[in-house]
Chain A
Amino acid sequence: MFNEYIKGDSIIHRIDPRVKIIYTLVFSIVIALQNELIPVLTGLAISIILVAIAGIEIKEVIQRLRVVDEFILLLWLILPFTYPGEPIIEVWNFSVSKEGIMLTTLMTIKANAIMLILTGLLATSSIFELVHGLLHLKIPEKLVFMFFLIYRYIWVLYDEYEKIMRAVKARGFRLHNTLHTYRTIAYIVGGLLVKSYNRADNLYRAMVCRGFNGKFWLLEHFKFSTIDLMAIIMLTTGNIVIIIL
């Protein structure tokens, strides 16, 4: 279920995570604020090129775009009808406006361009590289520390959850629209919370025994290389082109 990290050895995999994080953020903001078709299409082209350079399989890309496009589909079903403007098609009392179609097209391209850049740049670094990068970027320590713990324990608790589900299924539990189903699921959720609460106590004691005092130590440091410099120059040029267009 967690197929987050796309392994590979492309040039994109080797870019410094700090560069990737900052660029992804800047790119997302630049794209999100555009209102014209041409710059947004340029953004889409840039993101497609990055995904192609990273060598990500098409199947993987489509899987990631599906979720965002479900929301976009909902917009397509409504916005062209409700947006005021010059009508081009009339169906019964509804009219489809040209402006509505333009706006929805724009949103669709923006959403997909940003998702592609996330896939191309962020999914090609492991989570530890990314969080490590965040710590270097002066994100509050507490937040980064909690992020590590949350990430670590999601796997542990997911295993726990699967174990509970196997146990109830072995006893003949099936999901239906009944109060019994809801009550059982509620007890499973409650059980998860209690288990995590107990675990956290042990975790805290273990951390204190190892001298935890709230400080989070970094053991490795990034080195800035020529690949990073080239990446910065090329990606910044891309952003400037989008803004100028």
Chain B
Amino acid sequence: MHIAEGVLNTPGLIGGGVIAVTGTAIGLKKIEYKDMPRIAVLSSAFFVASLIHIPVGPASAHLILNGLAGIILGWASFPALLLALFLQAILFQFGGLTTLGVNTATMASASVLCFLFFRRMVKISNKFWNFTGGFLTGFFGVLLAGIFVASVLALNGEFFIPVAKMIVIAHIPVMVIEGILTGFVILFLKKIRPELLGGNQNINRQ
């Protein structure tokens, strides 16, 4: 869900920029030097995973996984997503430089909210709740990001509200599939590498 260049007006661009800078500063402060390789390599994994296309009904969509990124990276999602979007801007010219702040803010705020709300559900040892927590993470990761994108667009004026609504509605199937997928990823990680699911604290532990 990228907002293209040249569409937003000043308040949207500046507001998004401020949120992105604040979030990134908090994220960077929480990352210690010894965690940097781990967070960076995990971020690359998320970048690669987001290139995977899955069928959604008759169409196909790429994975977003910002909820899952939130659960695993915590506040570090802000710098991670900022860098991923910056890379996309200079690698494939997706999104641009003035919208870098807004796009980081909409995606990473959703990640951090998922981290704050659902990390306990995926931590406990109960498969049902783990899957549910994963589903909610995937679902709300996309839903919240969509709502944030829609609200920023609506800042442009009332006439933008139909576009904003359409973006959220078009993403509903993606939300469901991201939810199911994230649920399965959580179960998988729980079995193979449970220490990945502790959020920031466990990443800090050597």
With beta carbons under 8 angstroms apart, the residue of B55, B91, B193 that contacts A197 is B193
Asked if A110 contacts B2 (CB within 8 A), the reply is no
With beta carbons under 8 angstroms apart, the residue of A75, A78, A181, A207 that contacts B54 is A181
Tell me the smallest distance from the CB of B142 to a CB of chain A, in Å: 15
Q: A110-B5, A114-B5, A197-B38 are in contact. Are A188 and B52 (CB under 8 A)?
A: yes
Asked if A187 contacts B90 (CB within 8 A), the reply is no
Count of chain A residues near B, Cβ 8 A = 85
Complex: how many Å from CA A71 to CA B39?
Answer: 31
Give the interface size bracket for B toward A: 35 or more
The SS class assigned to the B binding surface is helix
Does A171 interact with chain B (Cβ within 8 Å)?
A: no
Residues from 85 to 106 in A contacting B, C-beta threshold 8 Å:
100, 106
Complex: how many Å from CA A143 to CA B90?
Answer: 16
Number of A-B contacts (CB under 8 A): 239
Complex: how many Å from CA A174 to CA B16?
Answer: 40
With beta carbons under 8 angstroms apart, the residue of A1, A79, A118 that contacts B96 is A118
The interface stretch among A154-162, A219-227, A228-236 is A154-162
Does A119 interact with chain B (Cβ within 8 Å)?
A: yes
**A24 and chain B: residue at smallest CB distance:** B97
Asked if B54 contacts A157 (CB within 8 A), the reply is no
Q: A1-B51, A146-B79, A150-B84 are in contact. List 17 more A-B contacts (CB 8 A).
A: A4-B91, A28-B98, A32-B8, A33-B10, A79-B160, A82-B159, A108-B6, A115-B96, A142-B33, A146-B43, A150-B44, A152-B44, A186-B185, A189-B181, A189-B185, A190-B192, A194-B189
Chain A interface (Cβ < 8 Å from any Cβ of B): 1-2, 4, 24-25, 28-29, 31-33, 64, 67-68, 71-72, 74-75, 78-79, 82-84, 100, 106-115, 118-119, 122-123, 127, 130, 140, 142-143, 145-147, 149-154, 156-158, 160-161, 175-177, 179, 181-183, 185-197, 199-201, 203-204, 207, 212-214
27 inter-chain pairs at a CB distance below 8 angstroms, sorted by A residue, are A2-B92, A24-B97, A67-B92, A75-B7, A78-B163, A82-B159, A111-B6, A113-B6, A142-B36, A146-B83, A157-B48, A160-B48, A161-B48, A177-B56, A182-B180, A185-B181, A186-B188, A187-B185, A188-B52, A189-B185, A190-B189, A190-B192, A193-B46, A193-B185, A196-B42, A197-B38, A204-B38
